[in-house]
Amino acid sequence: MGATRRVGRVFARRSQTGPAPVDLVGSGKLDGSLIDWAYYRDGHRDHQIGSYVEALQRARRGEGFVWIGLFEPNALQLELIGRQFGLHPLAVEDATEAHQRPKLERYGDDSLFAVLKTVRYVPHDDLTATSEVVESGEVMVFCGPGFVITVRHGDHGELSGLRQQLEQHAKRLRSGPGGVLHAIADHVVDRYLEVAQAVQNDIDQIEIEIFSPRGWRNIERVYQLKREVLELKRAVAPLTGPMRALSTQEHSLITEETRNYFRDVDDHLLRVKEQVISFDELLSSILQAGLAQVQVSENEDMRRISAWVAIIAVPTLIAGIYGMNFENMPETKWKYGYFIVLGVMALACSGLYRLFKRNRWL
């Protein structure tokens, strides 16, 4: 509660000269992008607060905080939110556009802006060269004195279930905006672990297939899986810095207890990062093995082709000589000469076949 009161005093100082509150929800300006909003006081959702303006005013007096959830808002809607809460223009600009790199930025002494990549495993019956295994999205989180604003991009990564879970644990909501930020980060990293396990199963399957007879024919599937692992790596690796900062650096929104929880999230993130890096290295090894199999198969094919060409060349040579139609040729006056020449061809071809067979060219 002490941390919440400190946050409230800071919010009050910032908002004394700020713009008059505007009911963005009631005015319909957030239609199409607003998922949910609520006012939380003493760890519980206050259902008696029906006006967005009243909730914001109470939050500015240090009586709890407001949590607004948005889904792919446009630039005008985010600009309105930014004016209402005093968000930094650069952070608002970043939240408008998707495909941001995971990061954590501080604006002043009392505001945080975090970008987290969300991932989802796409179930499939059979892994093909065009399968989409990992689908990514983004969650941007604005945290300030008395408010949390989440902006989600992508069809997955919804936070409604997380909000319901937090509302059943008042202790976590009493931590204020910092506690919500931790819950979101923990939720995202837990999804990383689930996706990593599912990708591990796909890698195990492709590893068995690539080392089976004629397994090199699955080489395109290895390429596809490696691209999907890189997508997961781009979501996980850059987030380690922000999680380490939240778990070690002091901030007015993050209590000591919440920092301890962030250390646990950081530990899980490091584990999944190591796992994803090992995926990348393993797939590189599988890819090299597959390419080696391709080269061996091509060499075997070339040897077979060369052997059959050599065998066919013998009768072709003999037939070519007789096709010259010289006057004095063996067998032209012999009664059995034709059959003798055919026998010579058969003996020569069978001898070459046995030779190539013994040398494993055929």
* CATH for 216: 3.30.460.20
Shared-domain flag, residues 327 and 182: no
Shared-domain flag, residues 244 and 337: no
Burial label, 171 (beta-carbon count in 10 A; 0-12, 13-18, 19+): exposed
Q: What is the pLDDT of residue 186?
A: 93
Shared-domain flag, residues 37 and 112: yes
Shared-domain flag, residues 10 and 77: yes
Give the C-alpha separation, 194 to 182, whole Å: 18
- Sole residue written with tokens 């930025």: 105
Burial label, 299 (beta-carbon count in 10 A; 0-12, 13-18, 19+): exposed
Shared-domain flag, residues 353 and 261: no
Per the structure, how many domains does the chain have?
2
The helix (run of H) or strand (run of E) holding residue 105 is: strand 103-107
Shared-domain flag, residues 172 and 104: yes
Length of the chain: 362
Shared-domain flag, residues 281 and 298: no
From 293, 324, 344, the end of a domain falls on 293
Give the C-alpha separation, 19 to 130, whole Å: 52
Q: What is the pLDDT of residue 284?
A: 85
Structure tokens at 185: 């980060």
- Range of 327's domain? 294-358
Shared-domain flag, residues 285 and 304: no
Shared-domain flag, residues 287 and 325: no
Q: What is the pLDDT of residue 343?
A: 80
Q: In what order do the strands lie in the sheet with 103-107?
A: 44-45, 34-41, 65-71, 147-153, 134-144, 111-121, 103-107
Q: What is the pLDDT of residue 2?
A: 41
- Print pLDDT tens along the chain (362 aa): 444 444 344 433 443 334 455 566 655 567 678 888 889 988 888 888 876 667 778 888 888 899 999 998 988 889 888 888 888 999 999 888 878 889 999 988 889 999 999 998 888 766 666 667 888 889 999 998 889 999 998 877 678 788 888 888 888 888 889 999 999 999 999 999 999 998 888 888 888 877 777 666 677 778 888 888 888 999 999 999 999 999 998 888 898 899 999 999 999 999 999 999 998 888 888 888 777 777 777 777 787 787 788 778 877 777 776 666 555 555 556 666 667 777 877 887 788 778 777 777 66
Shared-domain flag, residues 249 and 305: no
Q: What is the pLDDT of residue 336?
A: 65
Q: Rg of the chain over CA atoms, in angstroms?
A: 35
Q: What is the pLDDT of residue 115?
A: 94
Single-letter residue type at 268: H
pTM attached to this predicted model: 0.75
Give the C-alpha separation, 209 to 219, whole Å: 10
Give the C-alpha separation, 349 to 57, whole Å: 98
Shared-domain flag, residues 62 and 182: yes
Q: What is the pLDDT of residue 5?
A: 40
Give the C-alpha separation, 175 to 143, whole Å: 12
Residue 226: how many CB atoms within 10 A of its CB? 19
Give the C-alpha separation, 203 to 224, whole Å: 11
Give the C-alpha separation, 251 to 50, whole Å: 31
Closest by alpha carbon to 100, among 119, 83, 116?
Answer: 116
From 260, 293, 326, the end of a domain falls on 293
Shared-domain flag, residues 123 and 198: yes
From 269, 293, 317, the end of a domain falls on 293
